[in-house]
Amino acid sequence: MKRYSLLIISISCIIIYTIFNSSYGNLPLEKVDICSGLSFDLIASSPVIEYNVAASAYAFPKKDEVSSVILEAIGKNIPDTRSARSTISSKEFLLGLQKVFIFSEAVATNGINPIVDMMFSNQQMNDSTWIVVCKGKAIDMLKFKVVDATTSSDHIDGLVESSIEQNFMSTDYKVVDMFVRVGSEGRNLVVPYLEILNNKITLSGMAVFKKDKMVAKIPMEEAMYMNLLRNNKVKGILTLQKDSLQLISTYGDVKRKVHCEKINGKYKFNIDIEFKGQVVNNTMYKDFMINPKTIEKYTHELEEQTEKRCNEFINKMQNEYKTDCLELGRDAAAAFGRNPETNWDNIVCNADIKVNVKVRVNNLGRGQFLFEDK
């Protein structure tokens, strides 16, 4: 019995040693193209639609030195670009560690369904990769040199991740969120829109999709209120400002609830927004720290202003964008039943939508610094 145990242990050790010391699949970094990001462009001059897909890969030219290379490939479809890329690279291509996929606006408006299908089928796909849309050519943004990062993909990764602390942005801009939203009933994809402004990659707004096609680019000052109405448990700043010298800003969290009714065949939505936060700047009220009535006045004024801005966005959404940017169709489908043939974009854009905003100031900061001009 002891002899058999020793034999089993010996065989197990040999198998483990063979697996972990096999040369197959254990290439040195210098022989692997590790992808940090991909860009997707369309070639408009061709009579047949062609894709230009570029990959940003880390390079290790010297010891303790990291740089990057761009592997650009053109094909009539996404798989063809993968084959074309192998003809210009002498290294094995590693997909799965990439941080961002950049769609040009042309690709996004033409439709991303072929790309979604390719990503969904690929077992090596990293579902937590960010999805963004950019102005102009996506490859230009992929090639853009950033001072504080090895590749622009690394910079965009940090840019989108840190954006959730402001403008009521969420974290729902990943590949897995694209799978969930594109084609799902009562849901629409919304992702960050990037531009190169003042020689910097800038998050300038949000790209809104209807099914797999981008239908609108919303500037950030407007998208902030879309995010406020769309997302739950997000953060941002609301400011009440009379002029350049008189303003008060509060940074806080948002809780969102939606109630849906169906009266005589017409839908009605009530969106309840609770904003709770800390005052971070106040040059408007001199007695703010000592007078509760002043705080009450401020919260009431901010509630009215926020409701007004939200209603302005809803009006624009229903009459200009004509798309359910707020995913209210999801709440209606959950309440009254699902039907794949229902056009929730049309229903929401013809529904009555009421916004109720409640503002709570739970922290006045450590003090107030105001002085009188003499």
* Dihedral sign for Cα atoms in the order 157, 159, 160, 162: positive
- Report which of residues 5 and 229 the model is more confident about: 229
Do residues 74 and 215 share a domain?
Answer: yes
Average pLDDT value for the chain: 86
Q: Is residue 37 part of a domain?
A: yes
Lowest mean pLDDT among 16-20, 113-117, 206-210: 16-20
Are residues 203 and 269 both part of a single domain?
no
**Listed residue (51, 42, 37, 49) closest to 84, CA to CA:** 51
Residue 225 lies in a domain: no
Q: Assess whether 342 and 269 both reside in one domain.
A: yes
Same domain flag for 308 and 209? no
List the structure tokens of 208: 């809104």
pLDDT of residue 97: 79
What pLDDT is stored for residue 369 in this prediction? 62
Judge if 294 and 215 occupy the same domain: no
In 3-state terms, what secondary structure has residue 23?
Answer: coil
Min mean pLDDT across 16-30, 65-79, 127-141, 182-196 is at 16-30
Q: Which of 188-202, 337-351, 353-367 has the highest mean pLDDT?
A: 188-202
- For the segment 92-116, the average pLDDT, to the nearest whole number, is 87
Torsion angle, alpha carbons of 166, 170, 173, 176, to 10: 150
Kindly give the pairing relationship between strand 100-104 and strand 32-43.
parallel
pLDDT band at 9 (very low <50, low <70, confident <90, very high): low
Cβ partners under 8 Å of residue 283, min gap 6: 245, 246, 247, 248, 370
Q: Which of 164, 191, 220 is the last residue of a domain?
A: 220
200, 270: one domain: no
| Domain containing residue 123 | 27-220
Beta strands in 174-246 (DSSP E): 190-197, 200-210, 213-219, 234-241
> In this structure, is residue 278 part of a structural domain?
yes
Do 301 and 213 lie in one domain? The reply is: no
8 lies in some domain: no
Residues 43 and 191 in one domain: yes
Name the domain boundary from 180, 199, 220.
220
Give yes or no for residue 71 having a pLDDT over 90. Answer: no
pLDDT beyond 50 at 23: no
* Residue percentage of the chain with pLDDT more than 70: 84
* Whether residue 241 has pLDDT greater than 70: yes
Which two three-digit tokens encode residue 114?
């072929």
**Which helix (H) or strand (E) element contains residue 94?**
strand 92-94
CA distance 317 to 361: 30
Tokens of 309: 């801005």
299 with 155, same domain: the answer is no
Number of domains composing the chain = 2
Instruction: Identify the helix (H) or strand (E) that includes residue 81.
Output: helix 78-85
**CATH code where residue 283 lies:** 3.30.300.210
Using the 3D structure, point to which of 220, 252, 279 is the last residue of a domain.
220
Let me know whether 206 and 248 are in one domain: no
Answer yes or no: do 203 and 260 share one domain. no
- DSSP class of residue 31 equals G
Instruction: Say if residue 213 is in the same domain as residue 236.
Output: no
